[in-house]
Amino acid sequence: MDQFVNRVDELNRLQALYDSDEAELAIVYGRRQIGKSELVRQSIADRDDAVYYQAVQGTATTQLRRFVEAAATTYPGITAVKEEWEPLLTHLVDRHAVIVIDEFPYLIESNEGLPSVIQHLWDTAVDESQATLVLTGSAIGMIHTHVLDGGAPLYGRVSQTPNGRLELAQLPFRSIQAFVPTYDPEERVFVYGVFGGTPRYLSPLDSSRSIGENITRLLYDPDGPLHDEPETVLQMELTEVNTYFSVLESMASGNRSRNEIAQGAGIESTNTSYYFDRLETLQIIEKHHPALADPARSKRTRYRIRDPVFRFYFRYLYGRGGQYELYGEDAYADLIEPELPNFASETFESLCHQAVPALYADYQLTQVPNQWWYKSREVDVVAPTDESTLIAGEAKFTNTPLGYDVLADLEDDVEHIDWTPAGGGEPTYEFGLFSRSGFKRSVEEAAEERDDLRLFDLSDIVAVLEGGPTN
> Tens digit of pLDDT for each residue in 209-260?
999 999 999 998 888 999 999 998 898 888 889 999 999 999 999 999 999 9
DSSP secondary-structure letter at 468? S
pLDDT at residue 469 greater than cutoff 70: no
The verdict on 202 and 335 lying in the same domain is yes
- Side chain identity, residue 32: R
The verdict on 223 and 293 lying in the same domain is yes
Alpha helices by DSSP H, listed for 223-332, are 229-237, 241-252, 258-265, 272-281, 308-312, 321-327, 331
The verdict on 263 and 376 lying in the same domain is no
- Side chain identity, residue 299: K
In a domain, 2, yes or no: no
pLDDT at residue 1 greater than cutoff 70: no
In a domain, 1, yes or no: no
Number of H helices, E strands in the chain: 22, 12
> Tens digit of pLDDT for each residue in 430-462?
999 999 999 999 999 999 999 999 999 999 999
The verdict on 354 and 454 lying in the same domain is yes
Q: At 393, which CATH number? A: 3.40.1350.10
The verdict on 225 and 371 lying in the same domain is no
The verdict on 351 and 316 lying in the same domain is no
The verdict on 318 and 368 lying in the same domain is no
Q: At 42, which CATH number? A: 3.40.50.300
CB distance 197 to 306 below 8 Å: no
The verdict on 182 and 306 lying in the same domain is yes
Question: Among 33, 39, 45, which Cα is nearest to 10's?
Answer: 39
> Tens digit of pLDDT for each residue in 278-323?
898 888 999 999 999 988 888 899 999 999 999 999 999 998 766 6
Q: What pLDDT is recorded for position 145?
A: 76
Supply the angle between the helices 458-466 and 185-195 in degrees, to the nearest 10: 70
Considering Cα of 420, then 421, then 426, then 429, what sign does the dihedral take?
A: negative
Which domain, by its residues, includes 238?
175-342
Supply the angle between the helices 8-18 and 36-43 in degrees, to the nearest 10: 50
CB distance 321 to 405 below 8 Å: no
Question: Among 336, 237, 316, 250, which Cα is nearest to 279's?
Answer: 237
- Between CA 136 and CA 143, with CA 138 as vertex, the angle to 5 degrees is 70
Domain count, the chain: 3
- Containing 433, the helix (H) or strand (E) segment is strand 428-435
The verdict on 390 and 406 lying in the same domain is yes
- Containing 434, the helix (H) or strand (E) segment is strand 428-435
CB distance 455 to 439 below 8 Å: yes
- Starting at the edge strand found earlier in the chain, the sheet holding 389-396 runs 370-374, 377-384, 389-396, 428-435, 453-457
Q: How far is residue 232's CA from residue 239's CA, in Å, rounded to a whole number?
A: 12
Alpha helices by DSSP H, listed for 19-103, are 36-43, 60-72, 85-94
Domain boundary among 107, 137, 167: 167
In the chain, the percentage of residues whose pLDDT exceeds 70 is 96
In a domain, 471, yes or no: no
CB distance 23 to 126 below 8 Å: yes
The verdict on 110 and 211 lying in the same domain is no
The verdict on 354 and 263 lying in the same domain is no
The verdict on 247 and 322 lying in the same domain is yes
Q: What pLDDT is recorded for position 147?
A: 78
> Tens digit of pLDDT for each residue in 157-188?
889 988 999 988 889 999 999 999 999 999 99
Question: Among 299, 245, 247, which Cα is nearest to 268's?
Answer: 247
Neighbouring residues of 105: CB distance < 8 A, sequence distance ≥ 6: 55, 137, 138, 139, 142, 143, 146
